[in-house]
């Protein structure tokens, strides 16, 4: 059903992208920038990430066919990758890695921090791209589902934009404890979704 696909796509991408979890990285990347520059970085980063994820949804299946990769194989590989990301979130590793990437970008004076590391790989990273391609595979041959997926991508990146614009108050509201608890809860949800992807891929492979 379209509603079930819509709900699954929204939860999957929201958990994988993890807008709240990106707040510390965004604050670290934009340290010292004036408020108007922070808004500009937030807007450009969300547009870049949205474009990458939309492109993954539109040409992901074509790319798999070109490389002769079956969708069940990609589901299993994608599920394993998503599970690794989920385990990092549950164990508290992901936030630390994101912070290190942000610090390295600042130290190296990356010209466009909206593109790297914020847009890629923090927002549109391997996990988000993998999840998008997997969801696009479920909508193959169904224009309605593909349109819903593109709409979900737009909503998720819009949520990221709002969170970035409100990053300072959100960080004060959650505090370190709140951020850690939320990240781990989202990680458990993502782990369950990742296992389901592996199960679906294995079933499809065995049926084929």
Q: What is the pLDDT of residue 106?
A: 45
Q: Report the share of the chain in percent with pLDDT over 90.
A: 25
Q: Which of 2-11, 107-116, 130-139, 169-178 has the lowest mean pLDDT?
A: 107-116
Q: Which of 74-83, 102-111, 143-152 has the lowest mean pLDDT?
A: 102-111
Q: What is the pLDDT of residue 115?
A: 84
Q: What is the pLDDT of residue 153?
A: 97
Instruction: Calculate mean pLDDT across residues 183-203.
Output: 79
- pLDDT (tens digit per residue) in 125-164: 777 888 898 898 887 678 899 999 999 999 999 999 999 9
- pTM for the complete prediction? 0.71
Q: Which of 17-21, 66-70, 111-115 has the lowest mean pLDDT?
A: 111-115
Give just the sign of the alpha carbon dihedral 30, 33, 35, 37. Answer: negative
Q: Where are the domains of the chain?
A: 2-207
- What are the Cα distances from residue 57, in Å, to 9, 24, 69, 184? 12, 28, 16, 27
pLDDT band at 200 (very low <50, low <70, confident <90, very high): confident
CB 122 within 8 A of CB 101: yes
Q: What is the pLDDT of residue 18?
A: 87
pLDDT band at 48 (very low <50, low <70, confident <90, very high): very high
Tokens of 197: 């992807």
Q: What is the pLDDT of residue 109?
A: 37
Asked whether residue 110 carries a pLDDT value surpassing 60, the answer given is no
Q: Which residue has the tokens 């993502």?
A: 190
Asked whether residue 39 carries a pLDDT value surpassing 60, the answer given is yes
Say which residue, 188 or 29, is predicted with more confidence: 188
Instruction: Calculate mean pLDDT across residues 24-52.
Output: 83
Say which residue, 112 or 130, is predicted with more confidence: 130
DSSP per-residue string spanning 113-169:
TIIIIIIIIIIS-HHHHHHHHHHHHHTTT-HHHHHHHHHHHHHHHHHHHHHHHTHHH
Q: What is the pLDDT of residue 14?
A: 93
Q: What is the pLDDT of residue 89?
A: 67
């Amino acid at each position: 059903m379209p509603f079930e696909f819509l709900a699954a796509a929204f939860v999957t991408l929201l958990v994988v992208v993890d807008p709240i979890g990106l707040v510390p990285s965004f604050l670290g990347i934009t340290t010292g920038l004036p408020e108007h520059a922070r808004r500009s970085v937030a807007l450009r980063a969300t547009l870049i990430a949205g474009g990458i994820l939309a492109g993954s949804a539109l040409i992901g299946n074509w790319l798999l066919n070109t490389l002769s990769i079956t969708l069940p194989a990609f589901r299993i590989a994608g599920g394993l990758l998503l599970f690794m990301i989920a385990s990092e979130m549950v164990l508290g590793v992901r936030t630390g890695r994101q912070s290190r990437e942000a610090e390295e970008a600042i130290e190296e004076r990356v010209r466009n921090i909206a593109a790297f590391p914020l847009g890629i790989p923090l927002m549109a990273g391997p996990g988000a791209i993998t999840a998008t391609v997997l969801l696009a595979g479920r909508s193959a041959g169904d224009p309605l589902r593909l349109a819903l997926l593109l709409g979900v991508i737009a909503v998720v990146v819009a949520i990221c934009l709002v969170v970035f614009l409100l990053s300072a108050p959100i960080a004060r509201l959650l505090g370190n404890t709140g951020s850690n608890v939320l990240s781990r809860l989202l990680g458990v949800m993502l782990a369950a979704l990742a296992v389901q992807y592996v199960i679906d891929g294995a079933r499809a492979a065995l049926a084929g």
